[in-house]
C-alpha cells in the first residue's frame, strides 16, 4: 500500500468511527502535533477523535492535495461538521459543552505525515489562524486557553 493510500485509509477509518482500524496505520510511538496545545500520542489522538465524533457525528477531514515528498505525505484538511451533541474532551479538561447545533468549518490546514516502516509515525498540522482544536472550540463558543509552551 502506498503512503498516500495509508493516510487516506486511516482518515476514512476515523471518519467512520473505526478506531481499531485507524490504529493499524499508526506506529506505537505515533505523535500528533500542531493542532493541539502539546504533542499527543496514538491513544490520546484516537480518544480525541472519539470525543469529537461523539459531539460532531458528521465530522469530516475533507482531505485534498495529497503528494509525497521525502518519505512524507503532504496534504490539506478542511475540518467540517455540526456540533449536535454534548462535547467533552476530558484529557484537555474541555466540557461538557452542550450541543450548539453550530456548523463548524475550519480554514485549510496543511498536514505533514511522516512514515516509519510503512506506518504513520507523526502527523504535524500547520498552525493557522482559526485552525486546530482552538479554532474548532472557538466556533462553538468555547474559549480555550492553550498552556504556555516550554
- In tens, the pLDDT along 83-135 reads 999 988 877 777 788 999 999 999 999 999 999 999 999 999 999 999 888 88
Q: Which residue has the cell 507523526?
A: 122
Determine the pLDDT at residue 150. 38
- In tens, the pLDDT along 89-98 reads 877 777 788 9
Q: Say if residue 54's pLDDT is above 70.
A: yes
Q: What is the dihedral of CA 127, 128, 133, 137, to 10 degrees?
A: 160
Residue ranges of E strands in 1-150: 26-33, 40-41, 64-69, 72-77, 80-82, 87-89, 94-97, 103-105, 109-116, 119-125
Q: How far apart are CA 13 and CA 17, in angstroms?
A: 6
Set out the domains of the chain in order of their start, with CATH numbers. Answer: 3-139 (3.10.450.50)
Q: In whole numbers, what is the pLDDT of the chain averaged over residues?
A: 90
Determine the pLDDT at residue 146. 57
Mean pLDDT for 45-72 is: 93
Q: How far apart are CA 4 and CA 78, in angstroms?
A: 17
**pLDDT tier at 148, thresholds 50, 70, 90:** very low
Amino acid at each position: 500500500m502506498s503512503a498516500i493510500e495509508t493516510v487516506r485509509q486511516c482518515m476514512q477509518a476515523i471518519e467512520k468511527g473505526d478506531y481499531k482500524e485507524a490504529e493499524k496505520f499508526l506506529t506505537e510511538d505515533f505523535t500528533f502535533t500542531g493542532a493541539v496545545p502539546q504533542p499527543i500520542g496514538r491513544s490520546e489522538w484516537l480518544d480525541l477523535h472519539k470525543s469529537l465524533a461523539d459531539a460532531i457525528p458528521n465530522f469530516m477531514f475533507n482531505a485534498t492535495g495529497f503528494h509525497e515528498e521525502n518519505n512524507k505525505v503532504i496534504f490539506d484538511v478542511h475540518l467540517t461538521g455540526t456540533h449536535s451533541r454534548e462535547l467533552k474532551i476530558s484529557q484537555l479538561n474541555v466540557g461538557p459543552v452542550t450541543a450548539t447545533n453550530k456548523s463548524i468549518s475550519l480554514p485549510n490546514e496543511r498536514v505533514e505525515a511522516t512514515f516509519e516502516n510503512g506506518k504513520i509515525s507523526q502527523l504535524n498540522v500547520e498552525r493557522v489562524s482559526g485552525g486546530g482544536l482552538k479554532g474548532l472550540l472557538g466556533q462553538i463558543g468555547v474559549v480555550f486557553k492553550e498552556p504556555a509552551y516550554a
